[in-house]
Amino acid sequence: MSPMSSPFEKPAGPAATPAHLLSDFGGVYALNGVVGFLFACTGPVAIILSTGARGGLSEADITSWIFGSFFLNGFLTMALSMYYRQPLVLFWSIPGAVLVGPALGHLSFPEVIGAFLATGVLMLVLGVSGWVRRAMDAIPLPIVMAMVAGVFLRFGLDLVRAFHSQLGVALPMTLAFVALSVWPRVARVLPPLVGALVAGVVAVWLLGAYQPPTGELFSVVQPQLYTPQFSWAAMFELVVPLAITVLVVQNGQGVAILRTHGHQPPVNAITIACGVGAFVTGLFGAVSTCLTGPVNALISSSGQKERQYTAAVFVALLGLGFGLFAPFFTRLMLAMPPAFMATLAGLAMLRVLQSAFSSAFTSTPKDQATLGALVCFLVTVADMPIFGIGAAFWGLVLGWLTTRVLERQR
């Protein structure tokens, strides 16, 4: 069968109906769904807020971004999970959100949105054509993960700096995170990131460091529909790195996790859904859609495999509510001191940063590209745009060239 003949994988059985959903749902899936959703709306949202604030985005821009990430992707999650009867939660690319931060320093938000739409089209083409696996193998994984490590490094540094700027906030949050991480049984009920969030809120309240926002606090979202601008600088800087981080880093991780738990995730269908999601949510200012790894890992960790899709649908329903009231949650979080946001985002990135470094600089017989990975990492960390194109793109290019020239014989 040619790649073009059947882009969508066939489900193992009939799609779930609302009656099936109610019948398969239960307490364990509700609990897993709540835990997975709490992870998604804490550290990852802190990364959006931190990136938006650094990039000079307005509160309306950030609110619309969160709306697209939760509300619109929630519908895709429900459709995909019920059709394939698998936990297939689609949210947004955390590495993609981090990539956008430096780009906003020299690109306008409409230009970045144009790159979001182009990335969606690229992923849609790769999914429909069936060429997604070839695209995922085009650049050695160590080089890709070195770029991720270079982009994520500032979150780790900001975590350390938070101890210097406001010890009374950063220390209790970190201690709560460590304490819950030590006891996995407790962490299943109260994830370490959620514990850090609670500890941080208490610390901020005791220190009187909360700055109440002006104006109305509670309101329903009024999403922004943006007119994209297409520039060569934004295309070169963001489209390829965004597509690679979605397909290789995020979707690759999510697919591997689901396979570990006995599922057979439909790679082409997921890629097509991510392409459609990236295009639609991009119009509202949200970064590219992806198959989330951590949330799918949490909701597929227990219960019957055939019923775990109900937890994904429950996460999506919670996401719809979060997206609708995005202004309320955004204003609450933005009113917190910078050290709170830096600590929460840094703690959320610790394991991801560890995994990125490990994958980038651990040689394997299949893919030895550690020198190329080092060059990619250094170029990305230097964060010096060339010809108006950001460092993440040049890190990939120079890392790949280094491996092709100097590591070819290995």
Using one digit for the tens of pLDDT, what is the confidence trace for 241-267? 888 888 877 887 788 778 878 888 898
Please give the pLDDT value at position 335: 80
200/345 Cα distance (integer angstroms): 12
Calpha distance 96→394 (Å, rounded):
16
Kindly give, in sequence order, each residue whose CB lies less than 8 Å from that of residue 409, ignoring residues fewer than 6 positions away: none
DSSP string, 362-408: ---SS---HHHHHHHHHHHHHT--BTTB-HHHHHHHHHHHHHHHHSS
3-state helix, strand, coil in the chain (%, to 5): 70, 0, 25
**Domains of the chain by residue range:** 20-406
pLDDT band at residue 5 using 50, 70 and 90 as cut-offs: low
pLDDT digits (tens, 9 = 90+) for 210-252: 877 676 767 788 889 999 999 998 998 899 888 888 887 788 7
CA distance 290 to 94: 9
Tracing tokens 């396979």 back to the chain, one arrives at 259
Average pLDDT, the chain: 85
Q: What is the pLDDT of residue 21?
A: 93
pLDDT tens-digit series, residues 354-373: 877 887 887 655 557 888 88
User: What residue type is assigned to position 142 of the chain?
Assistant: P
Dihedral sign, Cα of residue 263, residue 264, residue 267, residue 268: negative
Q: Is the pLDDT assigned to residue 316 strictly greater than 90?
A: yes
* pLDDT 10s digits, 27-74: 888 888 887 887 788 778 888 888 888 888 998 999 999 999 999 999
pLDDT in tens, 104-149: 988 999 999 999 999 999 999 888 887 776 666 667 778 878 887 8
- Candidates 269, 353, 232, 224; CA nearest to 15 is 269
Q: Is the per-residue pLDDT at 2 higher than 60?
A: no
CA distance 361 to 144: 11
